[in-house]
Amino acid sequence: MTLVLADGSYAATVLDDLITVALSSYAAVCSVLAARSADGRPRRAWATMAGALGAWALGDAMWLAYDVVLQREPPSPSVADIPYLAFPVLAAVAMARFPTASTRQSRLRLLFDAANVALCLFLLLWMLVLNRVFDEYSHDKVTFSVALLYPVLDLVVLTIAVVVLARAEATQRRELSLLTVAIGLAALADSAYAYVTVDGGYGTGNVIDLIWAASLAVFAIAALISQRTPEPPKQAVSVPSNTSLWLPYAPLLLAGTIGPPLVMTGFERFIVPLIVVTVCARQSVAAWENRRLLAVAADEALRDPLTGLANRNLFHERLAHAMMLRSRGNRSVAVMSVDLDDFKLVNDSLGHPAADDVLRRVGQRLAGCVRTGDTVARMGGDEFALLLEGRVDDSHLIAHRVVAAFQEPFTVDGQEMLMRPSIGLAVAPEGEPDLEPDTLIERADIAMYAAKRARSSEVHTFHAEMVMTGPDVVDLGESRRPSADGAAQIRLLGELRHAIDHGRLDVVYQPKLALDNGTVVGVEALLRWPHPTLGTLRPDAFLSLVRQHGLMRQVTDLVLDMVLDDAATWIALGVPIPIAVNLFAPFLRDTQLPDTLILALEQRGLPAELLTVEITEDLVLSEVAMVTSVLRRLREHGIKVAIDDFGSGYSALSYLRDLTIDEVKLDGHFIASVATDTRAAAVVRAVIDLAHDLGIIVVAEGVEDAETANWLQQHGCDVGQGYHFGRPMDADLIPGLVHLAAAGPDR
Ligand code: C2E
Ligand code: CA
Ligand code: CA
């Protein structure tokens, strides 16, 4: 856009024109390249921008043609004005096509922002340029309109650019800032041109030419640095960028501080700019405070409140991002799924506050296993997930750290407790560039379930056979779908509920014999489930379901009813037989338990002395303080208390010290080798002596042969129970057995 001045050299003019055409064409080509390397909305935006810059280049070429061919400057208006005017129109469309972050800002606010920016820019333009142009051409409306058209159109583009920039995604802020600068420079040059042409002050090589050149150069740079930026994942709460806070006020600040000194006189020239500055500052502070609140809300929406770890949403977001980066090259992504085994048990036996404490510590340990940049999330309940991303695949190393982290016990309420995790690992394979994030999580889960089924705390790494093998068929299509195993468990649970509701559980009785004279001193009630198709099930097959699904109360009530009814029947037959029942450990925290039992006994006219409750050692240990009062009240009423499976845990001695009990039942595994293993024998002997010193009866469980029975008898063990003496049997066989034993040869 140079004028051939009367005294200007023709060569210089043509050179200037050529440089201008070259620059605008180069900027257009850069935009085409930017469009080709982009996807989605940025691609369309850059394509349109290429059109806009192409129009500019076409205008420059026409100008060059006027200068070279016709050797005169184009008239005003000329055909060159058509492509020149197409530039701001297309540039406006291009800017509007760039994607903006979906903030919670209302459309109304957007509208006001745009109006504010446009009005302030126009005011600036008017005060600096247009009022002079207006004064000059007040007689010639057509010339004035043409002079006005370029700066005003530029202003529209600039307004759109500022508003889009204020709402830009972080990833696009750099190129959009450059584009805004380029548009601003073009607007500046066009306005300056309108200003100086009023008195013919424009000439070739004028600084205005440099501003146009600078504008084109910045367009080219913006196009060159624009890169394929993937659409960022959607966020639960989006925090506006800092730019979006101050940018809409920038034009007001400019107009409000530059304008008054230009058009006002006296004192007001300083006061008005000051007021504008304070108002802008005040608005920015308010906006900034809003932003901080939003940031807090956004953070909370993505954190698990209990552990402070990432929550499921954040995990999915980060994983999606990691997978996107992976598809752009050489980064590894792995997901580890960690699920605590039998956590329900911890919850039931220790209570929620302690269980929460365990979860927090588990979270801390997991966080200690990963590298910076990895993500640890609590996905819900006792499920955790780790996202491992980086240049190299360290996932196996980290998996082993996680395994090691669980080898130390957790200290809760002063008690040490081992937690066992099931750990599944899935690494996104290089050969599957299109792998979906959700699929990777599902694979980690499948591997985790495989670990759980294997009851192994080693890491299981996902492999394709896990999806296809035998009974563990898992469908990859749905997340967290239970395996065939899981499905069978769910069916079993349904049947169990049905059985409980209809009282279709059974109890069998195993005799306990005095070792010195062979009399039956009592029986232990053992639960059975006569399953319609699977045959009679032993407790091991279904008690975990009972525990995990809140059925303990119903099962216990059912068992107590059956047992006490049987006891009453035996008494009616003239054989009062002491009965031991097994209780779920959590019941010992139930302060109502003693009253419930006493009432049940009284209703049937049974003496409390007939009843023994057996409690399992390892579970009660963790809450000695809580259960002692319940135990004491049971014993006050005459109900006996036995420690079951004694010797299978590790703190047996403190247990004997802390709890007042009537009976210990030595675990079957513990006594199985007494007759052959001198060390085991020494321990059992010592326990028998210790128990006797404390006035506690010793019962040996799982006695399978005469040799063991003899050894136990010789070493003072009081009572024996096991297949050697009698298998668990139906209630109606018991009275006969008692008579038989009483009439046996030993008597
Ligand atoms: P437990 O209290 O230790 O019961 C003894 C278990 O050892 C019984 O298994 C019994 O059948 C088995 N047994 C008895 N003598 C021998 C022997 O000589 N050799 C071997 N190898 N085993 C022997 P069962 O009936 O399968 O019960 C398993 C566990 O289920 C019980 O272990 C008990 O902890 C629990 N349980 C049983 N009935 C109930 C109940 O009504 N309520 C609750 N809460 N738990 C129950
Ligand atoms: Ca027992
Ligand atoms: Ca036992």
> Which are the catalytic amino acids?
701
Cβ of 551 less than 6 Å from ligand 1: no
pLDDT at 1: 45
Contact 667, 645 (CB under 8 A): yes
pLDDT computed for residue 503 by the predictor: 93
Q: Distance between CA 99 and CA 741 in Å, rounded?
A: 89
Atom 21, ligand 1: residue with shortest CA distance: 702
Phi/psi at 644 (5° precision): -85, 160
**Pair 350, 398: CB distance under 8 Å:** no
Q: Which two tokens stand for residue 698?
A: 């010793």
d(CA 361, CA 372): 19
Is the CB of 722 inside a 6 Å radius of any atom of ligand 1? yes
pLDDT digits (tens, 9 = 90+) for 397-415: 899 899 999 988 888 777 7
**Structure tokens given for 226:** 């624009």
Q: How far is CA 483 from CA 259, 392, 471, 544, 710, in A?
A: 73, 32, 8, 18, 48
The preferred substitution site among 508, 582, 611, 615 for testing ligand 1, maximizing ligand atoms within 8 Å of CB, is: 582
CA 206 to chain centre: 60
Establish whether residue 668 lines the binding site of ligand 1, counting it when its CB lies within 6 angstroms of any ligand atom: yes
Give the Å distance between the CA of 664 and the centre of ligand 3: 10
Here the tokens at position 214 are: 């600078």
Which residue stretches of the chain have pLDDT < 50?
A: 1-7, 468-484, 743-747
Residue 329's contacts (CB-CB under 8 Å, 6 or more residues apart) are none
Nearest CA to ligand 1 atom 22: 702
Q: Would the CA dihedral through 221, 227, 231, 236 be positive or negative?
A: negative
Which one-letter amino acid corresponds to residue 402?
V
How remote is the CA of residue 678 from the centroid of ligand 1, in Å? 27
The whole-number pLDDT of residue 469 equals 40
For the Cβ of 704 lying below 6 angstroms from any atom of ligand 1, the answer is: yes
- Dihedral sign computed on CA atoms, order 364, 370, 373, 374: negative
Distant-in-sequence, close-in-space partners of 73: CB < 8 Å, separation ≥ 6: 3, 4, 66, 67
Q: Looking at residue 248, what is its pLDDT?
A: 83
Ligand 1 pocket test, candidate residues 496, 527, 615, 645, most atoms within 8 A of CB: 527
Can you tell me which atom of ligand 1 is nearest the CA of 721? 15
Taking the C-alpha atoms of residue 319 and residue 334, their distance in angstroms, rounded to an integer, is 9
List the alpha helices (DSSP H) in 573-605: 593-603
Nearest atom in ligand 1 to the alpha carbon of residue 546 is 44
Distance CA 668, CA 326 (A): 55
Residue in the structure block whose two tokens are 């000439």: 203
Residue-level pLDDT at 565: 96
Cβ neighbours of 141 (radius 10 Å): 9
How far, CA to CA in Å, does 110 sit from each of 105, 245, 370, 429? 7, 12, 43, 45
Measure the CA–CA gap between 60 and 598, rounded to whole angstroms. Answer: 104
Rounded distance, CA 18 to CA 35, Å?
A: 26
Please compute, for residue 491, the number of CA atoms within 13 A of its CA located in the half-sphere on the CB side: 10
Alpha-carbon gap, residue 333 to 394, rounded angstroms: 10
> From CA 512, how far away is CA 520, in angstroms rounded?
6
The Cα 10–Cα 3 span in angstroms is 10
H-helix or E-strand containing 246? helix 242-246
The answer to whether residues 522 and 466 touch, using CB atoms and an 8 Å cutoff, is no
Q: Residues 719, 722, 726, 727: is their CA dihedral positive or negative?
A: positive
User: Hey, whose CA ends up nearest to atom 15 of ligand 1?
Assistant: 722
The CATH number of the structural domain formed by 10-232+246-263 is: 1.20.1070
| 300 in Cβ contact with 312 (< 8 Å) | no
Tokens of 580: 């031991």
In angstroms, rounded to a whole number, what is the distance separating the alpha carbons of residues 294 and 300?
Answer: 10
The residue type of 311 is N
> What are the residues whose beta carbons fall under 8 Å from the beta carbon of 334, sequence distance 6 or more?
387, 388, 389, 393, 395, 425, 426, 427, 428
pLDDT tens per residue, range 498-526: 999 999 999 999 999 999 999 999 999 99
Reduced to 3 states, what is the DSSP secondary structure of residue 524? strand
H or E element that contains 545? helix 539-548
Tell me if 539 CB under 6 Å of ligand 1.
yes
Quick one: which of 177, 165, 206, 164 has its CA closest to 189?
206
How far apart, in whole angstroms, are the C-alpha atoms of residue 493 and residue 275? 74
How does pLDDT run across 654-696, given as a tens digit for each residue? 777 878 899 999 988 888 889 888 988 998 999 999 999 999 9
Ligand 1 centroid distance, CA of 540 (Å): 8
What's residue 274's pLDDT? 94
Amino acid residing at 287: A
503-742: CATH, from 3.20.20.480, 3.20.20.450, 3.40.50.360, 3.10.20.30: 3.20.20.450
Cα–Cα distance measured from residue 198 to residue 270, given in angstroms and rounded to the nearest whole number: 30
Q: Where are the domains of the chain?
A: 10-232+246-263, 312-461, 503-742
Please, which residues bridge with residue 504 across strands?
none
Would the CB of 552 count as within 6 Å of ligand 1? no
Q: What ligand 1 atom has the least distance to the C-alpha of 559?
A: 41
Q: Decide whether any atom of ligand 1 lies within 6 Å of the 648 Cβ.
A: no
How many A from CA of 640 to the centre of ligand 3? 16
- Reduced to 3 states (helix: H, G, I; strand: E, B; else coil), residue 99 is coil
Give the type of residue at 91.
Answer: A
Q: Evaluate: CB of 720 within 6 angstroms of ligand 1.
A: no
Residue 561's Cα: distance from chain center in Å?
Answer: 46
CATH class of 312-461: alpha beta
Closest Cα to atom 19 of ligand 1:
702
pLDDT of amino acid 105? 62
pLDDT score of 410: 84
Helix, coil or strand: residue 527: strand
For residue 270 and ligand 1, the question of a CB distance below 6 A is answered with no
Q: What is the pTM of this model?
A: 0.48
Q: Would you give the end-to-end CA distance of the chain in angstroms?
A: 128
